[in-house]
A and B are shown apart, each in its own frame.
Chain A
């Protein structure tokens, strides 16, 4: 991850709201985007992420609030004059124009000299590796090729800000992964600030320097992918970024830099290696990612949590690179754990029906308010 913290924010979103009738699609959002950053807005459908993006592009007018780009209010600029370009989810390539004409469109509209247009178009087509398709029409291209043309067309004007609406959404899974790295390579080469809207948490996490999780028009949490994944502040964010086990617990005491808790389901004691600002008696929820659980048939040392729970493996889902264990805990709850397939010749892999011990490291637990 690049260090961008010392720069002035390129984009400042100040208290922006958008109401459609009585529905608040975007509800009083404040957000700073730094120059050169790849920022993702992550949320489900109806979370307001697309509306926010369309307000930046100028296709929607905010009900209230302010958007500043390089310190200047964007409200005064109609969409065709904003130094902001967008890559559309449907790609929106002009079907009556060749690849070349599509890419050149924005430069022609800016009345840039013909020879310069030719150079810039061929350079950007080269960057996205589409030079040999310059004379094709969009309907003669595959989905992945169309995606590259759309990217080239939105980049060629060198906007201050590039908005990407579900950039990988229309691609199949295999193409997605390679395109993801391709997108990163191009962004690093060109250095334009990206704002990506997506509902796909893997896409958001792998592409972005920072991301924001949106729900019902509000920003739930902003941070680096690691930060948001490891330290979700709410149950919603924890659930949205991958699967998790949620344990209800009650604070029983605090000693120095440790917090002692009692798990409500099993009554077991557990320890967090940090202080919480919750007094004893408070009910909280603990979030444990499936890959943090240590599962074994033999007796094991408890992790720094000091907790061992007994369980039976109800089911195993084999995914190749890892297996998902469905654990029926003795306290009646259900856990999910991941087991990485390390060794092909593992003589005694875990099997459904095995009685197992489950533990975890206290530092791997995230706390959300109940």
Chain B
């Protein structure tokens, strides 16, 4: 019963939709509604149930360089965004975890506050900041640092800013929760046994934060890889990410089978490394 409800939830909102998308990815696009063929057909003269799996969509993805580039591009952007979130998020999480208990709830709140406004509004604000005549350029020009202001929009720089800004809290919160739970006497013990402060960090604090680092990195990496809004609004059109490709296939081309194949491949790219990782984790726990 206890695991029944989450299982039901998973079934209803993950497995069934997943099966539907998987099914569509094996069909062919037609001009109809719904815009794809059925893969299961009952041929009554021969009393045969015929299931035809069309692998053409996957072959198409494999052969067309556009999709490759979009996948690699998405992975690269997601990887570096995650790395930057980690490098910025760790010191912030550490600072909050080590600040006095009186201030912690307030600092915690400051991390969460951006979620109270819509993502779109936040991204549009960044557009305002990064424009050629935006606030950043105006200030830089006024100070005299920049004579010939350039728009920072439609660049990878803008995409990274948007990604890191949006997903940083997802990195900070799990890191904060592991750091906050760390027993201070462990650090004292390390100090007592002869470790100067930086060594205490490297030999005690950091290894004991690994779970938080993994959780935070996944919480950032997974949504950034499929992110659609941020690259569309801040990025350059020649710098395609896979979320944009997916959107175009669904809504512009109305090619649901190819769009489904794109989604299935993306899921495989994300899930397979996670499953391998979890498997090795379980093994090391037993060993």
Contacts and interface: CB of A to CB of B under 8 A. Distances in A.
A81 B194 CA distance: 6
B194 A157 contact: yes
A105 B194 CA distance: 9
A92 B208 contact: no
B183 A105 contact: no
B188 interface: yes
B199 A92 contact: no
Contact of B185 (A84, A92, A110, A153): A92
A86 interface: yes
A176 to B, nearest CB: 21
B195 A92 contact: no
A10 B207 CA distance: 38
A92 B183 CA distance: 8
Interface string A67-96: 000000000001111001110111011111
A155 to B, nearest CB: 11
Contact of B194 (A94, A96, A106): A106
A97 to B, nearest CB: 9
Interface in A234-277: none
Interface in B189-237: 189-196, 199, 203-204, 207-208
B106 interface: no
B186 interface: yes
A79 B187 CA distance: 12
A79 B190 CA distance: 10
Nearest to A82: B192
B196 to A, nearest CB: 5
Contact of B195 (A80, A88, A95, A154): A80
Which of B183, B194, B203 has the largest count of A CB atoms less than 10 A from its CB? B194
Interface residues of B, number: 17
A96 B208 contact: yes
A88 B189 contact: yes
Given A90-B183, A94-B204, A80 B196 contact: yes
Contacts of B199: 109
B189 A94 contact: yes
B208 A80 contact: no
Which of A92, A110, A153, A154 has the largest count of B CB atoms less than 10 A from its CB? A92
Interface in B165-196: 183, 185-186, 188-196
Nearest to A89: B185
A79 B194 CA distance: 8
B185 A90 contact: yes
Contact of A105 (B190, B196, B207, B208): B190
Interface in B53-91: none
Given A95-B208, A96-B208, A109-B199, A85 B193 contact: yes
Which of B188, B189, B199, B207 has the largest count of A CB atoms less than 10 A from its CB? B189
Contacts of B195: 80, 109
A106 B208 contact: no
A59 interface: yes
Given A95-B208, A96-B207, A109 B188 contact: no
A293 interface: no
Contacts of A58: 191
B205 to A, nearest CB: 11
Nearest to B184: A92
A212 interface: no
B195 to A, nearest CB: 5
Contacts of A109: 193-195, 199
A154 B207 CA distance: 22
A59 B200 CA distance: 14
Which of A58, A93, A94 has the largest count of B CB atoms less than 10 A from its CB? A94
A106 B207 CA distance: 17
Contact of A79 (B185, B192, B207): B192
Contacts of B190: 94, 105
Contacts of A154: 192
A80 B191 contact: yes
Contacts of A105: 190, 193, 203
A228 interface: no
Contacts of A110: 194
Contacts of A33: none
B192 A57 contact: yes
Nearest to A59: B188
A21 to B, nearest CB: 13
A187 B70 CA distance: 68
A106 B193 contact: yes
A278 to B, nearest CB: 48
B11 to A, nearest CB: 35
A95 B208 CA distance: 8
Nearest to B199: A109
27 contacts: A57-B192, A59-B188, A79-B188, A80-B192, A80-B193, A80-B194, A80-B195, A85-B192, A86-B188, A86-B192, A88-B188, A89-B185, A90-B185, A92-B183, A92-B189, A94-B189, A94-B190, A94-B204, A95-B186, A96-B207, A96-B208, A105-B190, A105-B193, A106-B193, A109-B199, A153-B189, A157-B194
Given A78-B196, A80-B191, A80-B196, 17 more contacts: A59-B191, A79-B188, A79-B192, A80-B193, A80-B194, A81-B194, A86-B189, A89-B185, A90-B183, A94-B186, A96-B207, A105-B193, A105-B203, A106-B193, A106-B194, A110-B194, A157-B194
Return the 7 tightest CB-CB contacts between A and B, nearest first.
Answer: A106-B193, A109-B194, A92-B189, A92-B185, A96-B207, A86-B192, A79-B191
